[in-house]
Chain A
Amino acid sequence: MNPLKCFRHLVLMVLAYAALVAETSIAPALDLGGLTIRPLWIVLALAVASCEGAAVLAWAAVLGFTSDCLRGNGPLGLDLVLAATAVSLLPAAWTARPLRSITTVSFATLILTLGIESVSRLVRIGAVESVPQWLSVTLPTTLISALGDSLANSLVVLAALLGIRAIQKPLTRLLLPTPLTN
Protein backbone atom coordinates (compact mmCIF):
# COMPACT_ATOMS: atom_id res chain seq x y z
CA MET A 1 0.00 0.00 0.00
CA ASN A 2 1.44 3.34 -1.01
CA PRO A 3 1.70 6.22 1.49
CA LEU A 4 -1.03 8.21 -0.28
CA LYS A 5 -3.56 5.41 0.25
CA CYS A 6 -2.53 5.14 3.92
CA PHE A 7 -3.04 8.86 4.29
CA ARG A 8 -6.49 8.63 2.66
CA HIS A 9 -7.56 5.88 5.06
CA LEU A 10 -6.22 7.89 7.99
CA VAL A 11 -8.24 10.92 6.90
CA LEU A 12 -11.33 8.74 6.46
CA MET A 13 -10.81 7.30 9.94
CA VAL A 14 -10.69 10.81 11.42
CA LEU A 15 -13.80 11.77 9.42
CA ALA A 16 -15.62 8.62 10.57
CA TYR A 17 -14.91 9.48 14.21
CA ALA A 18 -16.01 13.07 13.62
CA ALA A 19 -19.21 11.72 12.06
CA LEU A 20 -19.81 9.50 15.08
CA VAL A 21 -19.37 12.48 17.41
CA ALA A 22 -21.57 14.66 15.21
CA GLU A 23 -24.30 12.01 15.11
CA THR A 24 -24.44 11.89 18.91
CA SER A 25 -24.00 15.56 19.72
CA ILE A 26 -24.52 18.08 16.92
CA ALA A 27 -26.94 16.38 14.48
CA PRO A 28 -29.76 15.81 17.03
CA ALA A 29 -29.54 19.47 18.10
CA LEU A 30 -29.84 20.76 14.52
CA ASP A 31 -33.28 22.03 13.57
CA LEU A 32 -33.63 21.70 9.80
CA GLY A 33 -37.40 21.57 9.57
CA GLY A 34 -37.67 17.85 10.23
CA LEU A 35 -34.69 16.88 8.08
CA THR A 36 -31.88 14.82 9.60
CA ILE A 37 -28.26 14.99 8.53
CA ARG A 38 -26.50 11.59 8.61
CA PRO A 39 -22.76 12.38 8.64
CA LEU A 40 -21.91 8.66 8.54
CA TRP A 41 -23.35 8.32 5.03
CA ILE A 42 -21.49 11.46 3.96
CA VAL A 43 -18.25 9.79 5.04
CA LEU A 44 -19.34 6.65 3.16
CA ALA A 45 -19.79 8.69 -0.02
CA LEU A 46 -16.35 10.22 0.54
CA ALA A 47 -14.94 6.70 0.96
CA VAL A 48 -16.56 5.73 -2.36
CA ALA A 49 -15.01 8.84 -3.91
CA SER A 50 -11.51 8.32 -2.55
CA CYS A 51 -11.02 4.52 -2.26
CA GLU A 52 -11.40 1.67 -4.67
CA GLY A 53 -12.31 -2.02 -4.72
CA ALA A 54 -12.65 -3.95 -1.48
CA ALA A 55 -11.59 -0.95 0.61
CA VAL A 56 -14.91 0.75 -0.24
CA LEU A 57 -16.82 -2.29 1.03
CA ALA A 58 -14.72 -2.39 4.20
CA TRP A 59 -15.56 1.26 4.89
CA ALA A 60 -19.24 0.57 4.17
CA ALA A 61 -19.17 -2.24 6.73
CA VAL A 62 -17.46 -0.10 9.38
CA LEU A 63 -19.77 2.87 8.90
CA GLY A 64 -22.87 0.65 8.67
CA PHE A 65 -21.92 -1.07 11.91
CA THR A 66 -21.43 2.33 13.60
CA SER A 67 -24.88 3.40 12.39
CA ASP A 68 -26.34 0.15 13.78
CA CYS A 69 -24.88 0.94 17.18
CA LEU A 70 -26.39 4.42 17.18
CA ARG A 71 -29.91 3.14 16.50
CA GLY A 72 -31.88 2.01 19.52
CA ASN A 73 -34.04 -0.61 17.85
CA GLY A 74 -33.84 -3.23 15.16
CA PRO A 75 -31.29 -5.95 14.58
CA LEU A 76 -27.60 -5.18 14.94
CA GLY A 77 -25.90 -5.60 11.57
CA LEU A 78 -28.80 -4.40 9.42
CA ASP A 79 -27.17 -1.12 8.37
CA LEU A 80 -23.88 -2.94 7.88
CA VAL A 81 -25.50 -5.28 5.35
CA LEU A 82 -27.47 -2.44 3.71
CA ALA A 83 -24.41 -0.19 3.37
CA ALA A 84 -22.32 -3.02 1.91
CA THR A 85 -25.09 -3.98 -0.50
CA ALA A 86 -25.71 -0.36 -1.53
CA VAL A 87 -22.03 0.20 -2.22
CA SER A 88 -21.73 -3.02 -4.21
CA LEU A 89 -24.76 -2.02 -6.32
CA LEU A 90 -23.16 1.29 -7.32
CA PRO A 91 -21.83 1.51 -10.89
CA ALA A 92 -18.46 -0.23 -11.16
CA ALA A 93 -16.94 2.95 -12.62
CA TRP A 94 -17.56 4.72 -9.29
CA THR A 95 -15.96 2.12 -7.04
CA ALA A 96 -13.16 0.95 -9.36
CA ARG A 97 -11.22 4.21 -9.15
CA PRO A 98 -11.36 7.45 -7.13
CA LEU A 99 -14.02 9.93 -8.22
CA ARG A 100 -13.11 13.47 -9.28
CA SER A 101 -16.50 14.95 -10.13
CA ILE A 102 -18.23 16.87 -7.35
CA THR A 103 -21.62 16.19 -8.94
CA THR A 104 -21.00 12.44 -8.97
CA VAL A 105 -19.94 12.42 -5.32
CA SER A 106 -23.06 14.40 -4.35
CA PHE A 107 -25.22 12.04 -6.40
CA ALA A 108 -23.55 9.04 -4.74
CA THR A 109 -24.39 10.57 -1.33
CA LEU A 110 -28.01 10.98 -2.41
CA ILE A 111 -28.33 7.39 -3.65
CA LEU A 112 -26.52 5.83 -0.68
CA THR A 113 -28.45 7.79 1.95
CA LEU A 114 -31.81 7.21 0.26
CA GLY A 115 -31.21 3.49 -0.26
CA ILE A 116 -29.85 2.71 3.19
CA GLU A 117 -32.13 4.99 5.23
CA SER A 118 -35.40 4.03 3.53
CA VAL A 119 -34.84 0.27 3.74
CA SER A 120 -33.42 0.48 7.26
CA ARG A 121 -36.40 2.50 8.54
CA LEU A 122 -38.94 0.24 6.86
CA VAL A 123 -37.33 -2.84 8.39
CA ARG A 124 -37.07 -1.22 11.82
CA ILE A 125 -40.73 -0.14 11.79
CA GLY A 126 -41.51 -3.83 12.12
CA ALA A 127 -44.28 -6.21 11.18
CA VAL A 128 -46.92 -5.18 8.63
CA GLU A 129 -50.37 -5.38 10.21
CA SER A 130 -52.36 -4.10 7.25
CA VAL A 131 -50.83 -4.22 3.75
CA PRO A 132 -53.06 -1.47 2.22
CA GLN A 133 -52.28 0.86 5.13
CA TRP A 134 -48.58 0.04 4.85
CA LEU A 135 -48.64 0.78 1.12
CA SER A 136 -50.67 3.97 1.43
CA VAL A 137 -49.25 5.49 4.62
CA THR A 138 -46.06 3.91 5.98
CA LEU A 139 -44.20 3.40 2.69
CA PRO A 140 -44.75 6.90 1.19
CA THR A 141 -44.08 8.64 4.52
CA THR A 142 -40.84 6.74 5.04
CA LEU A 143 -39.69 7.27 1.46
CA ILE A 144 -40.43 11.01 1.54
CA SER A 145 -38.67 11.39 4.88
CA ALA A 146 -35.63 9.43 3.64
CA LEU A 147 -35.59 11.44 0.39
CA GLY A 148 -35.60 14.70 2.35
CA ASP A 149 -32.72 13.53 4.54
CA SER A 150 -30.73 12.31 1.54
CA LEU A 151 -31.24 15.60 -0.30
CA ALA A 152 -30.03 17.50 2.78
CA ASN A 153 -27.02 15.17 3.02
CA SER A 154 -26.09 15.57 -0.64
CA LEU A 155 -26.48 19.37 -0.42
CA VAL A 156 -24.08 19.42 2.52
CA VAL A 157 -21.55 17.38 0.50
CA LEU A 158 -22.00 19.60 -2.56
CA ALA A 159 -21.49 22.79 -0.53
CA ALA A 160 -18.47 21.35 1.31
CA LEU A 161 -16.75 20.11 -1.87
CA LEU A 162 -17.40 23.37 -3.71
CA GLY A 163 -15.94 25.24 -0.74
CA ILE A 164 -12.86 23.01 -0.68
CA ARG A 165 -12.35 23.46 -4.43
CA ALA A 166 -12.71 27.23 -4.09
CA ILE A 167 -9.92 27.23 -1.47
CA GLN A 168 -7.81 24.72 -3.39
CA LYS A 169 -7.53 26.75 -6.63
CA PRO A 170 -5.82 29.87 -5.23
CA LEU A 171 -3.55 27.66 -3.08
CA THR A 172 -2.43 25.64 -6.13
CA ARG A 173 -1.79 28.83 -8.06
CA LEU A 174 0.25 30.14 -5.15
CA LEU A 175 2.40 27.00 -4.94
CA LEU A 176 3.07 26.76 -8.68
CA PRO A 177 6.46 28.17 -9.80
CA THR A 178 6.34 31.58 -11.35
CA PRO A 179 6.62 31.32 -15.17
CA LEU A 180 9.81 32.62 -16.63
CA THR A 181 9.45 35.95 -18.39
CA ASN A 182 11.52 37.42 -21.17
Chain B
Amino acid sequence: MVRSTTSWKPLTACLAIGLVLASVPEPIAETIRSRVVDVARPGQQAVLDTAERIAAWRSWAHSPRAADLERHELDAARLEISRLRLANSRLTLQATDTSSADPQHPPLVTTDLVTVRVLGQETIQAWQAGRILDQGRGLSPESLVVEAGHATLDLGRDRGLARGQPAYAGRRVAGRISRVGRWTSTLQPLTDTRFRGLARLARPGRDQPVFSTRGMLEGTGDGFCRLTLVPATAAVTIGDVVYTDGRDQPDGWPMVYGTVVRAEMPDGAPHWDIRIRPAIDLGQLKQLDVLTRRFNRPQANSQGVLAQ
Protein backbone atom coordinates (compact mmCIF):
# COMPACT_ATOMS: atom_id res chain seq x y z
CA MET B 1 0.00 0.00 0.00
CA VAL B 2 2.82 2.33 0.92
CA ARG B 3 4.52 1.49 -2.38
CA SER B 4 1.48 2.40 -4.45
CA THR B 5 1.16 5.83 -2.81
CA THR B 6 4.82 6.75 -3.20
CA SER B 7 5.80 5.18 -6.55
CA TRP B 8 4.09 7.77 -8.75
CA LYS B 9 5.82 10.74 -7.11
CA PRO B 10 9.36 10.18 -8.48
CA LEU B 11 7.97 9.55 -11.97
CA THR B 12 5.89 12.73 -11.81
CA ALA B 13 8.96 14.63 -10.66
CA CYS B 14 10.93 13.22 -13.62
CA LEU B 15 8.17 14.21 -16.06
CA ALA B 16 8.07 17.72 -14.55
CA ILE B 17 11.86 18.06 -14.84
CA GLY B 18 11.63 16.86 -18.45
CA LEU B 19 8.96 19.43 -19.27
CA VAL B 20 10.99 22.21 -17.66
CA LEU B 21 14.10 21.18 -19.62
CA ALA B 22 12.11 20.99 -22.88
CA SER B 23 10.85 24.53 -22.36
CA VAL B 24 14.35 25.93 -21.74
CA PRO B 25 15.35 28.41 -24.52
CA GLU B 26 17.70 27.00 -27.16
CA PRO B 27 20.81 29.07 -26.21
CA ILE B 28 20.54 27.91 -22.58
CA ALA B 29 19.94 24.30 -23.71
CA GLU B 30 23.06 24.49 -25.89
CA THR B 31 25.06 25.83 -22.95
CA ILE B 32 23.86 22.95 -20.77
CA ARG B 33 24.75 20.44 -23.51
CA SER B 34 28.22 21.95 -23.96
CA ARG B 35 28.88 21.86 -20.21
CA VAL B 36 27.95 18.19 -19.97
CA VAL B 37 30.14 17.33 -22.97
CA ASP B 38 32.97 19.36 -21.39
CA VAL B 39 32.66 17.21 -18.26
CA ALA B 40 33.73 14.24 -20.40
CA ARG B 41 36.95 15.95 -21.52
CA PRO B 42 39.23 14.66 -18.69
CA GLY B 43 37.98 11.14 -19.41
CA GLN B 44 38.60 11.55 -23.12
CA GLN B 45 42.12 12.77 -22.37
CA ALA B 46 42.62 9.73 -20.14
CA VAL B 47 41.45 7.47 -23.00
CA LEU B 48 43.94 9.13 -25.35
CA ASP B 49 46.75 8.84 -22.78
CA THR B 50 45.91 5.18 -22.23
CA ALA B 51 45.91 4.55 -25.98
CA GLU B 52 49.31 6.23 -26.22
CA ARG B 53 50.70 4.23 -23.32
CA ILE B 54 49.45 1.00 -24.83
CA ALA B 55 51.04 2.04 -28.11
CA ALA B 56 54.32 2.80 -26.34
CA TRP B 57 54.19 -0.51 -24.47
CA ARG B 58 53.50 -2.36 -27.69
CA SER B 59 56.38 -0.67 -29.44
CA TRP B 60 58.60 -1.58 -26.49
CA ALA B 61 57.34 -5.18 -26.41
CA HIS B 62 57.63 -5.67 -30.14
CA SER B 63 60.21 -4.33 -32.51
CA PRO B 64 60.00 -0.53 -32.50
CA ARG B 65 58.59 0.55 -35.83
CA ALA B 66 57.91 4.11 -36.83
CA ALA B 67 54.87 3.01 -38.81
CA ASP B 68 53.17 1.67 -35.65
CA LEU B 69 53.71 4.92 -33.79
CA GLU B 70 52.30 6.88 -36.68
CA ARG B 71 49.29 4.59 -36.81
CA HIS B 72 48.54 5.11 -33.12
CA GLU B 73 48.95 8.84 -33.49
CA LEU B 74 46.49 8.60 -36.35
CA ASP B 75 44.04 6.67 -34.14
CA ALA B 76 44.30 9.36 -31.46
CA ALA B 77 43.73 12.04 -34.08
CA ARG B 78 40.69 10.13 -35.36
CA LEU B 79 39.23 10.06 -31.85
CA GLU B 80 39.70 13.81 -31.62
CA ILE B 81 38.17 14.28 -35.09
CA SER B 82 35.09 12.26 -34.12
CA ARG B 83 34.67 14.39 -31.00
CA LEU B 84 34.99 17.57 -33.05
CA ARG B 85 32.55 16.22 -35.64
CA LEU B 86 29.97 15.68 -32.91
CA ALA B 87 30.40 19.28 -31.80
CA ASN B 88 30.32 20.46 -35.41
CA SER B 89 27.08 18.63 -36.23
CA ARG B 90 25.46 20.16 -33.17
CA LEU B 91 26.54 23.66 -34.22
CA THR B 92 25.36 23.03 -37.81
CA LEU B 93 21.93 22.04 -36.56
CA GLN B 94 21.84 25.09 -34.34
CA ALA B 95 22.69 27.30 -37.31
CA THR B 96 20.07 25.74 -39.59
CA ASP B 97 17.30 25.81 -36.96
CA THR B 98 17.23 29.61 -36.84
CA SER B 99 14.79 30.00 -39.70
CA SER B 100 12.78 33.15 -40.22
CA ALA B 101 9.20 33.50 -41.44
CA ASP B 102 8.45 32.60 -45.07
CA PRO B 103 8.17 35.57 -47.47
CA GLN B 104 4.60 36.42 -48.54
CA HIS B 105 5.28 37.25 -52.23
CA PRO B 106 5.70 34.56 -54.91
CA PRO B 107 9.28 33.70 -55.93
CA LEU B 108 10.78 35.83 -58.70
CA VAL B 109 12.05 32.77 -60.54
CA THR B 110 10.23 29.45 -60.41
CA THR B 111 11.93 26.14 -61.05
CA ASP B 112 10.41 23.12 -62.71
CA LEU B 113 11.62 19.63 -63.49
CA VAL B 114 11.07 18.58 -67.12
CA THR B 115 11.35 14.85 -67.70
CA VAL B 116 13.26 13.90 -70.84
CA ARG B 117 14.13 10.56 -72.45
CA VAL B 118 17.58 9.61 -73.68
CA LEU B 119 17.54 8.77 -77.39
CA GLY B 120 19.09 5.45 -78.34
CA GLN B 121 21.87 5.06 -80.87
CA GLU B 122 19.58 3.36 -83.41
CA THR B 123 17.10 6.24 -83.31
CA ILE B 124 19.91 8.76 -83.84
CA GLN B 125 21.26 6.79 -86.80
CA ALA B 126 17.74 6.52 -88.30
CA TRP B 127 17.27 10.29 -87.86
CA GLN B 128 20.63 11.08 -89.46
CA ALA B 129 19.81 8.73 -92.34
CA GLY B 130 16.44 10.49 -92.84
CA ARG B 131 14.45 7.31 -92.17
CA ILE B 132 12.05 8.87 -89.63
CA LEU B 133 8.62 9.87 -90.96
CA ASP B 134 8.24 13.53 -89.96
CA GLN B 135 4.73 14.24 -91.37
CA GLY B 136 5.90 17.53 -92.84
CA ARG B 137 7.38 19.03 -89.66
CA GLY B 138 10.78 19.76 -91.15
CA LEU B 139 12.69 16.96 -89.41
CA SER B 140 15.93 17.31 -91.33
CA PRO B 141 19.09 15.43 -90.31
CA GLU B 142 20.70 18.82 -89.54
CA SER B 143 18.03 19.58 -86.91
CA LEU B 144 19.36 16.76 -84.71
CA VAL B 145 21.88 17.98 -82.13
CA VAL B 146 24.59 15.41 -81.48
CA GLU B 147 27.87 15.59 -79.57
CA ALA B 148 30.42 12.81 -79.35
CA GLY B 149 30.32 11.07 -75.99
CA HIS B 150 27.24 13.00 -74.88
CA ALA B 151 23.75 11.53 -74.54
CA THR B 152 21.07 13.00 -76.80
CA LEU B 153 17.78 13.97 -75.15
CA ASP B 154 14.35 14.04 -76.81
CA LEU B 155 13.36 17.60 -75.85
CA GLY B 156 14.79 20.88 -77.03
CA ARG B 157 14.31 24.62 -77.13
CA ASP B 158 10.56 24.39 -77.81
CA ARG B 159 10.04 22.87 -74.33
CA GLY B 160 12.10 25.41 -72.43
CA LEU B 161 15.44 23.61 -72.36
CA ALA B 162 18.52 25.82 -72.45
CA ARG B 163 22.26 25.43 -72.25
CA GLY B 164 23.64 24.98 -68.73
CA GLN B 165 20.49 23.60 -67.12
CA PRO B 166 21.29 20.81 -64.65
CA ALA B 167 19.96 17.29 -65.24
CA TYR B 168 19.18 14.79 -62.48
CA ALA B 169 18.19 11.15 -62.22
CA GLY B 170 16.24 10.94 -59.01
CA ARG B 171 18.41 12.71 -56.43
CA ARG B 172 21.63 12.08 -58.36
CA VAL B 173 23.33 14.59 -60.62
CA ALA B 174 23.75 13.38 -64.21
CA GLY B 175 25.28 16.51 -65.75
CA ARG B 176 23.98 19.58 -67.52
CA ILE B 177 22.57 20.52 -70.92
CA SER B 178 25.43 21.39 -73.28
CA ARG B 179 23.77 21.99 -76.69
CA VAL B 180 20.14 22.70 -77.51
CA GLY B 181 18.32 22.32 -80.81
CA ARG B 182 14.68 22.78 -81.67
CA TRP B 183 13.68 19.16 -80.97
CA THR B 184 16.65 17.68 -79.14
CA SER B 185 19.49 18.59 -76.82
CA THR B 186 22.66 16.96 -75.51
CA LEU B 187 23.79 16.18 -72.00
CA GLN B 188 27.28 17.00 -70.77
CA PRO B 189 27.90 14.27 -68.18
CA LEU B 190 29.45 15.19 -64.83
CA THR B 191 32.49 13.08 -65.74
CA ASP B 192 33.25 15.31 -68.76
CA THR B 193 36.52 17.22 -68.42
CA ARG B 194 34.74 20.55 -69.02
CA PHE B 195 32.16 19.93 -66.29
CA ARG B 196 32.48 22.12 -63.18
CA GLY B 197 30.12 22.34 -60.21
CA LEU B 198 30.14 23.66 -56.65
CA ALA B 199 30.15 20.75 -54.23
CA ARG B 200 30.03 20.05 -50.56
CA LEU B 201 31.39 17.09 -48.61
CA ALA B 202 29.22 15.29 -46.09
CA ARG B 203 29.67 12.27 -43.89
CA PRO B 204 26.76 9.99 -43.06
CA GLY B 205 25.22 11.17 -39.78
CA ARG B 206 22.96 9.37 -37.39
CA ASP B 207 19.79 11.06 -38.67
CA GLN B 208 20.96 13.10 -41.67
CA PRO B 209 24.22 13.88 -43.50
CA VAL B 210 26.60 16.16 -41.67
CA PHE B 211 27.93 18.69 -44.17
CA SER B 212 31.48 19.95 -43.93
CA THR B 213 33.86 21.46 -46.47
CA ARG B 214 33.03 22.99 -49.84
CA GLY B 215 34.96 22.40 -53.03
CA MET B 216 34.79 22.35 -56.81
CA LEU B 217 33.79 19.16 -58.61
CA GLU B 218 35.44 18.54 -61.98
CA GLY B 219 35.08 15.68 -64.43
CA THR B 220 38.22 13.70 -65.17
CA GLY B 221 37.10 12.17 -68.46
CA ASP B 222 37.69 8.57 -67.31
CA GLY B 223 34.32 7.92 -65.70
CA PHE B 224 35.27 9.59 -62.42
CA CYS B 225 35.39 13.11 -61.01
CA ARG B 226 37.77 14.99 -58.76
CA LEU B 227 37.03 17.38 -55.95
CA THR B 228 39.38 20.33 -55.88
CA LEU B 229 39.97 23.32 -53.59
CA VAL B 230 39.31 21.32 -50.42
CA PRO B 231 41.77 22.76 -47.88
CA ALA B 232 44.34 20.51 -46.26
CA THR B 233 42.88 21.31 -42.84
CA ALA B 234 39.54 19.66 -43.73
CA ALA B 235 38.68 16.16 -42.50
CA VAL B 236 38.11 13.88 -45.50
CA THR B 237 37.57 10.13 -45.39
CA ILE B 238 36.81 7.49 -48.00
CA GLY B 239 33.05 6.98 -48.17
CA ASP B 240 32.16 10.64 -47.61
CA VAL B 241 29.33 11.72 -49.89
CA VAL B 242 29.64 14.73 -52.20
CA TYR B 243 26.52 16.87 -52.59
CA THR B 244 25.72 19.89 -54.72
CA ASP B 245 26.25 23.21 -53.02
CA GLY B 246 23.83 25.97 -53.86
CA ARG B 247 20.59 27.59 -52.82
CA ASP B 248 18.58 26.82 -55.95
CA GLN B 249 17.94 23.10 -55.52
CA PRO B 250 14.46 21.93 -56.60
CA ASP B 251 13.25 21.35 -53.03
CA GLY B 252 15.95 23.12 -51.08
CA TRP B 253 17.83 19.87 -50.46
CA PRO B 254 21.15 19.16 -52.22
CA MET B 255 21.59 16.49 -54.88
CA VAL B 256 24.26 13.78 -54.77
CA TYR B 257 27.30 13.90 -57.04
CA GLY B 258 29.00 10.76 -55.77
CA THR B 259 31.22 9.17 -53.15
CA VAL B 260 34.85 9.69 -52.19
CA VAL B 261 36.88 6.65 -53.28
CA ARG B 262 40.35 8.07 -52.80
CA ALA B 263 41.66 10.97 -50.73
CA GLU B 264 45.34 11.80 -50.71
CA MET B 265 47.34 14.66 -49.33
CA PRO B 266 50.49 15.26 -51.41
CA ASP B 267 53.49 16.50 -49.42
CA GLY B 268 53.29 20.24 -48.87
CA ALA B 269 50.13 20.64 -50.93
CA PRO B 270 47.54 23.14 -49.69
CA HIS B 271 44.59 21.07 -50.95
CA TRP B 272 43.40 17.48 -50.86
CA ASP B 273 43.54 15.31 -53.97
CA ILE B 274 40.11 13.64 -53.90
CA ARG B 275 38.71 11.18 -56.44
CA ILE B 276 34.94 10.80 -56.69
CA ARG B 277 32.92 7.91 -58.10
CA PRO B 278 29.67 9.31 -59.58
CA ALA B 279 26.48 8.12 -57.91
CA ILE B 280 24.91 7.61 -61.32
CA ASP B 281 25.64 4.95 -63.94
CA LEU B 282 25.75 7.08 -67.09
CA GLY B 283 25.65 4.05 -69.36
CA GLN B 284 22.27 2.95 -68.01
CA LEU B 285 20.48 6.30 -68.35
CA LYS B 286 16.93 6.00 -69.76
CA GLN B 287 15.35 9.26 -68.63
CA LEU B 288 16.33 12.40 -66.76
CA ASP B 289 14.79 15.42 -65.07
CA VAL B 290 16.07 18.76 -66.34
CA LEU B 291 15.75 21.73 -64.01
CA THR B 292 14.27 24.70 -65.87
CA ARG B 293 13.80 28.22 -64.52
CA ARG B 294 11.10 30.73 -65.50
CA PHE B 295 10.57 34.37 -64.69
CA ASN B 296 7.52 34.57 -62.40
CA ARG B 297 6.07 38.08 -62.63
CA PRO B 298 2.91 38.98 -64.60
CA GLN B 299 3.43 41.55 -67.33
CA ALA B 300 2.23 44.82 -65.80
CA ASN B 301 0.22 47.22 -68.04
CA SER B 302 2.44 50.19 -67.38
CA GLN B 303 1.00 53.60 -68.25
CA GLY B 304 4.45 54.97 -68.90
CA VAL B 305 6.25 57.87 -67.35
CA LEU B 306 4.05 60.52 -69.00
CA ALA B 307 0.89 59.11 -67.43
CA GLN B 308 2.16 59.70 -63.88
Contacts and interface: CB of A to CB of B under 8 A. Distances in A.
Interface of A: 17-18, 20-21, 23-26, 28-29, 36, 53-54, 57-58, 60-61, 65-66, 68-70, 72-73, 75-78, 80-81, 84-85, 88, 96, 121, 124-125
B101 interface: no
B29 interface: yes
B93 A24 contact: no
Nearest to B24: A76
A61 B14 contact: yes
B18 A81 contact: yes
Given A20-B43, A25-B82, A72 B90 contact: yes
> Which secondary structure characterizes the binding site on chain B?
helix
B11 A88 contact: yes
B33 A69 contact: yes
Contacts of B14: 57, 60-61, 80-81, 84-85
B83 A72 contact: no
B286 interface: no
Nearest to A83: B14
Closest 9 CB pairs of A and B: A77-B21, A21-B43, A81-B18, A84-B14, A69-B36, A72-B90, A77-B18, A75-B22, A57-B10
B40 A20 contact: yes
Given A28-B82, A29-B82, A80 B89 contact: no
B33 to A, nearest CB: 4
A68 B44 contact: no
23 contacts: A20-B40, A21-B44, A23-B40, A24-B44, A24-B83, A25-B40, A26-B47, A28-B85, A29-B82, A36-B206, A54-B7, A57-B10, A57-B14, A69-B32, A70-B86, A72-B90, A73-B93, A75-B22, A76-B33, A77-B17, A78-B22, A80-B18, A121-B207
Contacts of B132: none
B17 A76 contact: no
Interface string B101-130: 000000000000000000000000000000
A36 B29 CA distance: 25
Nearest to A21: B43
Contacts of B19: 77, 81
Residue of B14, B17, B46, B85 with most partner-chain A CB within 10 A = B14
B47 A76 contact: no
B19 to A, nearest CB: 7
Interface in B79-96: 79, 82-83, 85-86, 89-90, 93-94
A25 B44 contact: yes
B10 A25 contact: no
A58 B37 contact: no
A20 B39 contact: yes
Nearest to A36: B206
Residue of B40, B44, B79 with most partner-chain A CB within 10 A = B40
Contacts of A61: 14, 17
A24 B86 CA distance: 8
Interface string B22-60: 101000010011001101100110111000000000000
Given A26-B47, A28-B86, A54-B10, 20 more contacts: A20-B36, A20-B39, A20-B43, A21-B43, A21-B46, A24-B40, A24-B83, A25-B40, A25-B44, A25-B47, A25-B82, A28-B85, A70-B36, A73-B93, A75-B21, A77-B22, A80-B18, A84-B11, A84-B15, A96-B3
Nearest to A57: B10
A75 B78 CA distance: 29
B21 A21 contact: no
B106 to A, nearest CB: 22
B28 to A, nearest CB: 9
Given A25-B44, A69-B33, A78 B207 contact: no
Nearest to A60: B14
B20 interface: yes
